[in-house]
């Protein structure tokens, strides 16, 4: 039997060229037989882009704004994380077995590793993208606290790995681009973390329209309030404090860390920024995606 200790600071494993945490990589074989339902809703993101935030928003929408119902379980159970696997916890596939339809699902997988059934069933996707600099900073702190990742090393060396796509789930650039491309042929609502921060009510209205539901203005306001950073930070059903410190050590860095746009300015040195910007321009050439770096 695998123990949590066996997962600590293990090297990433490459699957079809994509680096992944080993225990997640091990689920990909069985996950290919996953059968999607047409009424599933997939939340797809590159890590650290606001996955938990939009998951809570969507669960609140699905529960008609009922706060108590949204406290029924930690987010990992309410929104099954398809490729999740960790000793001592049910896998994403196991959680799915007891998840009633209509289901909310979560993944960080790039398209090359996505179970085909999700595409065949034309499952609606809410994709959330966040600017690369804030993702890199958030991911660095996440690597520090979530010990299933390899040791992040210094911020400078982590940033180099991030730019090279040598972090779990691979290249940020490829991820945001390929899901953007997919939105031309597949029902994808492509959202930006920065937009949700700027005007959560407007973005929640977009989600409601996309999932074909309507809620009273009062309920939408309640969702905005309940899913604010301040509220989510103290909510054990979303802040990951219910997980063992062996898996996520919130004393190293909280999961709900800062929740702002532009935190990268406190981490990037002038030299790192000067190296990052031309590399970014090269990787994003020909792509019409635009990100806000500050609000």
- Residues assigned a catalytic role: 108
Longest Cα–Cα distance in the chain: 51
Strands (DSSP E) contained in 133-230 are: 188-192
Q: Which range of residues in 87-95, 114-122, 133-141, 205-213 is near ligand A3P by CB under 6 A?
A: 133-141
41 in Cβ contact with 106 (< 8 Å): no
- The nearer residue to ligand A3P, 40 or 134, going by C-beta atoms, is 134
Of residues 7, 27, 52, 272, which one binds ligand A3P by CB under 6 A?
52
Do residues 51 and 43 make contact, with C-beta atoms less than 8 angstroms apart? yes
Among 48, 124, 133, 175, binds ligand A3P (CB under 6 A): 48
- Tell the smallest beta-carbon distance from residue 177 to ligand A3P (Å): 18
Q: Per CB under 6 A, does 49 bind ligand A3P?
A: yes
Residue 189, SS3?
Answer: strand
CB 172 within 8 A of CB 132: yes
Total residues in contact with ligand A3P, by rule CB under 6 A: 21
Considering the complex, state which of residue 7 and residue 168 has its C-beta at the smaller distance from ligand A3P: 168
| Tokens 């789930």 found at | 169
Counting contacts by CB under 6 A, is residue 259 touching ligand A3P? yes
- 289 phi/psi in degrees, rounded to 5: -80, 130
| Minimum distance, C-beta of residue 87 to ligand A3P, in the bound complex (Å) | 21
For position 51 contacting ligand A3P by CB under 6 A, the verdict is yes
Residue 53 binds ligand A3P (CB under 6 A): yes
106 touching ligand A3P, by CB under 6 A: no
Q: Cα 172–281–133 angle (5° rounding)?
A: 45
- Where helices occur in 121-171 by DSSP H, the ranges are 132-145, 155-164
List the structure tokens of 40. Answer: 């599933």
Of 57, 72, 105, residue with least CA distance to 229: 57
Q: Does 257 bind ligand A3P (CB under 6 A)?
A: yes
The two structure tokens encoding residue 50: 């606001």
Of the listed pieces 51-59, 89-97, 98-106, 209-217, which binds ligand A3P according to CB under 6 A?
A: 51-59
DSSP states along 17-67 = TEEE-HHHHTTHHHHTT----TT-EEEEE-TTSSHHHHHHHHHHHHTTT-H
138 binds ligand A3P (CB under 6 A): yes
Scan residues 175-234 and list those touching ligand A3P (CB under 6 A).
Answer: 197, 227-229, 232
Rounded least distance, CB 131 to ligand A3P, Å: 11
Q: If binding is defined by CB under 6 A, does position 91 make contact with ligand A3P?
A: no
State in angstroms the smallest separation of the CB of 96 from ligand A3P: 20
Q: Residue numbers of the site for ligand A3P (CB under 6 A)?
A: 45, 47-53, 134, 138, 141, 197, 227-229, 232, 256-259, 263
């Amino acid at each position: 039997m695998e123990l949590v200790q066996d997962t600590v600071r293990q090297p990433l494993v490459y699957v079809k060229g994509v680096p992944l945490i080993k225990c997640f990589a091990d689920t990909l074989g069985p996950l290919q037989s996953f059968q999607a339902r047409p009424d599933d809703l997939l939340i797809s993101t590159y890590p650290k882009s606001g996955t938990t935030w939009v998951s809570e928003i969507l669960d609140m929408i699905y529960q008609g704004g009922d706060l108590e119902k949204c406290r029924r379980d930690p987010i990992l159970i309410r929104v099954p994380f398809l490729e999740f696997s960790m000793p001592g916890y049910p896998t994403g596939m196991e959680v799915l077995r007891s998840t009633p339809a209509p289901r909310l699902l979560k993944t960080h997988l790039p398209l090359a590793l996505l179970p085909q059934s999700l595409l065949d069933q034309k499952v609606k996707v809410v994709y959330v993208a966040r600017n690369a600099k804030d993702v890199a900073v958030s991911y660095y702190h996440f690597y520090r606290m979530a010990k299933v990742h390899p040791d992040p090393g210094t911020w400078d060396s982590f940033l180099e790995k991030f730019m090279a796509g040598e972090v779990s789930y691979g290249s940020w650039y490829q991820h945001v681009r390929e899901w953007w491309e997919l939105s031309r042929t597949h029902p994808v609502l492509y959202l930006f973390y920065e937009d949700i921060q700027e005007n959560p009510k407007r973005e929640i209205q977009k989600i409601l329209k996309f999932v074909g539901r309507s809620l009273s203005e009062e309920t939408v306001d309640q969702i905005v309030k309940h899913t604010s950073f301040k509220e989510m930070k103290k909510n054990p059903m979303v802040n990951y404090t219910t997980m063992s410190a062996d898996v996520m050590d919130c004393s190293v860095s909280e999961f709900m860390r800062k929740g702002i746009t532009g935190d990268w300015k406190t981490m990037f040195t002038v030299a790192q920024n000067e190296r990052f910007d031309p590399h970014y321009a090269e990787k994003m050439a020909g792509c019409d995606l635009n990100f806000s770096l500050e609000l």
